Amino acid sequence: MSIILSRYSTSTVLPACVRSIEALPNLHTLQIVRTHHKMSTVLKNAFEGHVFPQVRTVSLPSHAHHILRCCPEVRKVICISRMDSSTLVTAIARSCKKVEEVQGFRGPENVMKRTVFPRSSSALIDNEFRTCKGSAESTFD
């Protein structure tokens, strides 16, 4: 499912969006194509408390990280923004323990190198493929 979210009528649109995702038990890929960068709090309020266990791949801008927290079974996360991805790293560490692959992540080197993954993983960080070493708290080379 590909979604573009604008700031227009969020009190109507976002609850309908959440209901749509919940109503699709076979939805495995969620792509948030675009959201306004000032929608972070509105997205948090709309998605908080919801869980989408069927979603395995999420593609989203970093300021939509609250949506990622609703996907505990996600295996692949793609950051589509050209900004700092630190908020997505934090969301993965807190809520997405099964992530195996990340792509498009950018940010301070210390944050990007210390990403928490429960198993061996791979990452495309700043357009450079890296392999993860370790198991509990992983470091990318």
**Overall pTM surpassing 0.85 (yes/no):** no
Mean pLDDT throughout 2-18? 93
Say how many domains are in the chain. 1
In a domain, 124, yes or no: no
In a domain, 40, yes or no: yes
- Tens-place pLDDT, residues 39-94: 999 999 999 999 999 999 999 999 999 999 999 999 999 999 888 888 898 899 89
Please provide the DSSP assignment of the chain as one string: -EEEE-STTHHHHHHHHHHHHHT-TT--EEEEEEE-TT-HHHHHHHHTT---TT--EEEE-GGGHHHHTT-TT--EEEE--SS--HHHHHHHHHH-TT--EEEEE-S-HHHHHEEE-SS--EEEETTEEEEEE-SSEEEE-
Give me the domain span that covers residue 97.
2-104
